[in-house]
């Protein structure tokens, strides 16, 4: 066989690469059609081991502990102390302050948001940043407000501590704090609930999709409940404010009725 020049060798190599032979796996060529001199003996089958049983959960169930602690609170001050003492939510370790509530306890309207942000974490009150300022303006438009208003409102969140980087709370975090929210509503005794955003609707209604849920009255914890767009969403999507105005008028009509 005549020796190949550089260009022929390069063309042959490229042709092999196109066929998928793109890796050299031995120094010597192997004849795959040659009969082996010795037939290898089959290895004995290895008995498969049964999968290990899942480890039992260590320590008490956080949801059970939360339910017990919340149930023992006889007033809002005791509930706040119980939330502060709850040891199982890791969010408290990275937060500056517990964000429990604001406004007037016993108000006809109780607003439940999602979780504190940076401003709320710093001040220890819900809805005090830009979204909070918009929320105040929204309720002022129907003659409602926080402290000192003729028609007061009471405000809290599903989560009392700020998640890192303002991420959404995880399902297990929501589950362990939900007994405190339920007790909070029972002690505050509002006439209606306003759920701000997806997290609050998911926790108390078991549904998400706030753009579809908003404006439709439902029931949560035995209270008439109105889902509304979160003020933070309205800051990003100003055109949605007209939907929120319709929801506020629906709330006003419900209270007057």
Q: Whole-angstrom Cα distance, residue 68 to residue 176?
A: 11
**Four-point Cα dihedral 202, 110, 100, 228, nearest 10:** 40
What HEC string does 41-79 produce? Answer: CCCCCCCCCCCCCCCCCCCCCHHHHHHHHHHHCCCHHHH
Q: Are 142 and 251 spatial neighbours (Cβ–Cβ below 8 Å)?
A: yes
Residue 252: what pLDDT? 97
Residue 28: what pLDDT? 66
Q: Are 108 and 149 spatial neighbours (Cβ–Cβ below 8 Å)?
A: no
From the list 158, 160, 173, the residue with the least C-alpha distance to 98 is 160
224, with CB counted inside 10 A (0-12, 13-18, 19+), is: middle
Residue 114: how many CA atoms within 13 Å on its side-chain side? 25
Q: Which residues of the chain have pLDDT under 70?
A: 1-4, 7, 12, 15-57
Which domains are seen in the chain, by residue range? 62-256 (3.40.470.10)
Q: Whole-angstrom Cα distance, residue 200 to residue 203?
A: 5
Q: Which residues of 72-109 are buried (b: 16+ CB within 10 A; e: fewer)?
A: ebeebeebbebbeebebbebbeebebbbbbbbbbebbb
Q: Whole-angstrom Cα distance, residue 149 to residue 104?
A: 9
Residue 57: what pLDDT? 56
Verdict on whether the full-model pTM lies above 0.85:
no
Residue 149: what pLDDT? 78
Residue 108, SS3 per DSSP = coil
What secondary structure letter does DSSP report for 87?
-
* CA pseudo-torsion sign 180, 186, 189, 195: positive
**Four-point Cα dihedral 253, 187, 209, 92, nearest 10:** 140
Residue 39: what pLDDT? 53
Residue 148: what pLDDT? 73
152: which 2 tokens?
């007061």
Residue 207: what pLDDT? 95
- Residue 194 pairs in a beta bridge with 111, 226
Q: Whole-angstrom Cα distance, residue 163 to residue 6?
A: 64
Q: Which residue has the tokens 């001050």?
A: 77
Q: What does the angle CA 127 – CA 230 – CA 191 come to, to the nearest 5 degrees?
A: 75
């Amino acid at each position: 066989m005549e020796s190949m020049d550089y260009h022929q060798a390069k063309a042959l190599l490229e042709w092999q690469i196109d066929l998928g032979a793109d890796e050299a796996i031995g120094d010597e060529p192997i004849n795959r059609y040659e009969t082996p001199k010795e037939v290898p003996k089959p290895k004995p089958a290895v008995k498969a081991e049964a999968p290990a049983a899942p480890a039992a959960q260590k320590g008490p169930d956080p949801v059970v502990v939360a339910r017990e602690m919340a149930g023992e609170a006889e007033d809002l001050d005791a509930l706040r102390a119980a939330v502060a003492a709850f040891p199982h939510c890791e969010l408290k370790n990275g937060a500056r302050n517990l964000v429990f509530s604001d406004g007037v306890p016993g108000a006809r309207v109780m607003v439940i948001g999602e979780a504190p942000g940076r401003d709320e974490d710093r001040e220890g009150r819900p809805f005090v940043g830009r979204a909070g300022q918009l929320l105040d303006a929204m309720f002022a438009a129907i003659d409602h407000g926080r402290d000192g208003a003729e028609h007061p409102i009471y405000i809290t969140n599903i989560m009392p501590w700020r998640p890192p980087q303002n991420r959404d709370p995880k399902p297990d975090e929501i589950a362990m704090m939900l007994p405190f929210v339920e007790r909070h509503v029972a002690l505050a005794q509002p006439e209606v609930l306003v759920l701000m955003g997806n997290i609050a609707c998911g926790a108390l209604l078991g549904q998400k999709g706030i753009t579809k849920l908003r404006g439709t009255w439902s029931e949560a914890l035995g209270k008439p409940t109105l889902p509304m767009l979160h003020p933070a969403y309205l800051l990003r999507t100003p055109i949605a404010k007209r939907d929120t105005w319709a929801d506020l008028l629906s709330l006003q009509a419900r209270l007057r009725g």
